Structure 1
């Protein structure tokens, strides 16, 4: 009887504790469960190594330069670095033509430098994401040298070959070739090889299991070194129909539909996941996110066991030389957020090494609007759901370089060969150059502006690309000393994001969808809610706060003043404000 009474008493205590726990959870924890991952919470800072910091005076950035600037990177508040390719390369496409995947390009330093850099990053709690370029290699890679040496060479099937006796191969479009044809005749074996990019970037044959194993071994080599993530360059093009059927005339105008996400790609990614990703706590992201939202989900949904996050280009494809509508911007980013609200994960970015400077494309790089414009865009990137990718120099508000005027001023293979092709086809070359001045990749690759000394503190030599003349005012040293600078605003935003789960995992809701100048939205998680208001114009505009909700606690403001009267908030040109729920 005593045992029964004790059991009843114990049971009542357990039930009471559970009820109290339920009540406590309801009041303090968000209702929705959160699948937390480090790569979802990461703030990624992309470094283009050629342009970050030179230490040996050759005008090209190097690994020692990155090492020397890691305290600066840490102080930004970012938590991961994505590094563009640093492998051995003849540099036809600035390192995206790899000749040795297990070695470091001499321009950048040595493997010892790399090991030191990785160790120093980890000592500062900064993770490293490496570019993996395996849709193609360099034509100077030993695999291709062997492959082109004879038709019966063991490496022949590492690449795509079309024997000349079969006639000319079915036309394929090359993104970087001056002639536009992705088949290059090779006299040695009387055959054509395939290159979706430049002639010096032959495409690897992913149908060959030996090729796939070579790649997984390479990735394992870097994972064993301690690398924290991989970005798969151009990988959505890796799978190909090797019967090479004829494509309809004019397909190159919409080549993504024919090149991306072909049969076999998911098999390759699942195999890669099984052999590499699943064995290490690494982040994985592929350049491109398929042709549809459904295909993006097929790449990144957790139950697919492929990659972690989508890196879609819809957002960066919006601006053109003639401008763009804010309505398109809002629709695009809202569409992607909605599609991934419950499953999968996306990246948020407005610039990278393949884009011109974001403040010159999306906002206003002229005085007095450059600084508030840059702050506003950084506020957007760092307040959206998804993993933010911040491109080096954007934390300063770096702009397109006015020194890049004529074709002789450009070094990018896409610009140079694109010019040759356009000229041969009789295009309007004035329009072509105008488009380069607005959108060339070289604008995003000009050297980092560290201070007002000669060559902006980037190099003691002759920089590989010209320094933007505005470096005298737009530089790290000057902006660190100015509490209202773009740089210090960036640091406020990274601090806010790191301390706010709502900005990482919270729901996104678009407000004022028809407003021609304002992008407003809320981020909500449990009882916590933020209101983000961004003025994308050089006009002063007003919004009625009571129409947006009960928000009064100021979290972020890219101006020193907040013009608020009763329920009306008057926004200055390119003003960005974040308010918390009262």
Structure 2
């Protein structure tokens, strides 16, 4: 692996800290809890853990509203707890990636409290303030991602401030050089402590249109869908000037050895790939969320993979994501059997895979009763199914009370089947999805074709998506995925006849040697090693 960086050949595992492991009985996960469960990550075989925000916060959006970029919220522990976690992770060979939330702060952040105190305060221009429109209303038609106008009126100073999300999350003015330098200093604080990189929240939002033009209507929007989608966000995000900001951020990380910059970017492929930057001086990994929104069939998946591979700039390293803390879980989207196919797809495609905690267990979205709702988006736009709580529920570790997650009352309910769907039970089951994920990660580590080889499309028809992974003089691997509900037969290329079956999604086909035709059971995936050249 010497010719690839750790973030290229490794697997990233996202931890949502509130829900991973509680160490003090308050029902909320914390840093000591993550530290207690590092052995699971090592056993699974991942290379890095990405931790969602742990900074001091009023928790209006559960940590994405920050009051101090250089601290740890007491609900998660103390700074020394983070240092111990970092040291233990590094001691086990695990990298640690932090969430970085530069687009907005909490309205309780000292910067914003200064900014709103007076139009003449030195930090007034650290945020986005605008005079009312002629009718006294908001300056333009921009909408907040969590519902309603993106502008909040401040009676004391007679202006509106902009918030792309909650009104408790005012957006910083990234056109102000002082803001940029303050945020880069925050990055340096954590880099100096030894953090291995950052996942940057809503990276494509940082720069807004300097003329504050109205966003155009979205002709495809339908009632009953998220309010933010009523407009095309042409002027409120993804502005051309953003790329110089990303390059500056990358330059901060480049002063340290072997650090990674990951960008959260929900954009079409042709716009996403621009975030690699000129001469690859942007984000190392602009997060590729195409599989999250894909129609789950062979043709659409193959088209997405081929389009993405074709769009990547020279030197751009691909990456793939199936789930995160903002989206429905993959097992809910495609079903239990296809979740196994999805795991094989994620861990055999070219590029860096990111695995969301609990997906290795096949966890599904957990029903949340109205009185249990925590997510502000669900509270702001109820009844639309936008709530993110169902994908953020506690990790079930064993069959004990509260599944070993806490000695108190969990902040969100556990999965109803936690007595049987938990880490201990599935780790002991040789045919479980957890065992499958572990074996896929081990296979990815063992075979250079999987962690750094080329992607070569082979066939997409009749519910079958098949491709090859090739690396130098190594024997090629062939991946065949059946997205259908019936048995399918795949005619193999001449050099694939007599291939060795390395792994099936069912974990029950071993030591098979193929003939000229490969038979796949319904919703089955296979990895084969082809004959020597």
Does residue 270 (structure 1) correspond to residue 247 (structure 2)? The answer is: yes
Please, which of 305, 316, 320 is the counterpart of residue 281 of structure 2? 305
Q: What pairs with 1:119-198 in structure 2 (closer than 5 Å)?
A: 119-164=87-132, 167-168=136-137, 169-177=139-147, 180-198=148-166
Picking from 22, 27, 41, the partner of 1:59 is 27
Structure 2 equivalent of residue 259 of structure 1:
236
Instruction: Provide the C-alpha distance between the structure 1 equivalents of 2:364 and 2:165, rounded to a whole number of angstroms.
Output: 27
1:302 Cα offset (Å): 7.0
2-structure distance, mates of 1:261, 1:548:
46
| Match status 1:568 vs 2:517 | yes
Other-structure match for 1:379: 344
Check 1:409–1:548 CA distance in 2 against 1; reply closer, same or farther (3 A cut): farther
Q: Secondary structure at the match of 2:204?
A: helix
Deviation, structure 1 residue 391: 0.7
> Is the Cα–Cα contact under 8 Å of residues 34 and 505 in structure 1 kept in the other structure?
no
Asked if structure 1 preserves the Cα contact closer than 8 Å seen for 2:497 and 2:514, the reply is no
Partner of 2:325: 353
CA contact 1:522–1:530 (8 Å) conserved in 2: yes
- What is the CA deviation profile of residues 308-366 of structure 1, one whole-angstrom value per residue up to 9, with x for unaligned ones? 122122221225xxxx544222211221123228430122111111111111113x23x
User: Residue 198 of structure 2 contacts residue 260 of structure 2 at CA under 8 Å; is this kept in 1?
Assistant: yes
Contact 1:489 1:558 in 2 (8 A): yes
User: Does 2:101 correspond to 1:98?
Assistant: no
- CA separation of 1:203 and 1:341: change in aligned 2, threshold 3 A: closer
What's 2:256 paired with?
279
Q: Which of 468, 472, 484 is the equivalent residue of 1:522?
A: 468
Identify the residue that residue 25 of structure 1 maps to in structure 2. none
Structure with higher helix content: 1
Q: Which residue of 1 aligns with 2:526?
A: 577
Report deviation, 1:535: 1.8
How far apart, CA to CA, are the structure 2 residues paired with 1:45 and 1:271?
27
2:16, 2:315 → 1: CA distance? 31
* 2:376 corresponds to which of 400, 408, 413: 413
2:484 paired with 1:508: no
Q: Contact 2:216/2:234 (CA < 8 Å) preserved in 1?
A: no
Change (3 A) 1:172 1:341: closer
CA deviations over 1:531-568 (Å, ceiling 9, x no partner): 00112233332223347834511211222136877433
**For the structure 1 residues 554 and 118, does the alpha-carbon distance in structure 2 shift closer, same or farther, using more than 3 Å as the test?**
same
Question: For the structure 1 residues 297 and 164, does the alpha-carbon distance in structure 2 shift closer, same or farther, using more than 3 Å as the test?
Answer: closer
In structure 2, how many angstroms separate the alpha carbons of the residues matched to 1:472 and 1:537? 31
Distance in 2 (alpha carbons) for counterparts of 1:195 and 1:266:
21
Please tell me the root mean square deviation across aligned C-alpha atoms, in Å.
2.2
Kindly indicate whether residue 484 of structure 2 is the aligned counterpart of residue 537 of structure 1.
Answer: yes
Q: Identify unmatched segments of 5+ residues in structure 2.
A: 220-228
Give the SS at the match of 1:395: helix
The TM-score with structure 2 as length reference comes to 0.92
Distance 2:391 2:495 in 1: 36
Secondary structure (helix, strand or coil) at the match of 1:87 reads coil
In the alignment, does 2:306 pair up with 1:334?
yes
Cα distance in structure 2, aligned partners of 1:512 and 1:547: 14
2:198 and 2:364 mapped to 1: Cα distance?
28
**Partners of 2:298 and 2:133 in 1: CA distance:** 54
- Deviation, 1:63, is 0.5
Which string of whole-angstrom CA distances, capped at 9 and with x for unpartnered residues, describes residues 434-480 of structure 1?
x45xxx42222111010111211111111111101111111111112
1:496 maps to 2:452: no
Change in CA separation of 1:341 and 1:385 when aligned onto 2, cut-off 3 Å: farther
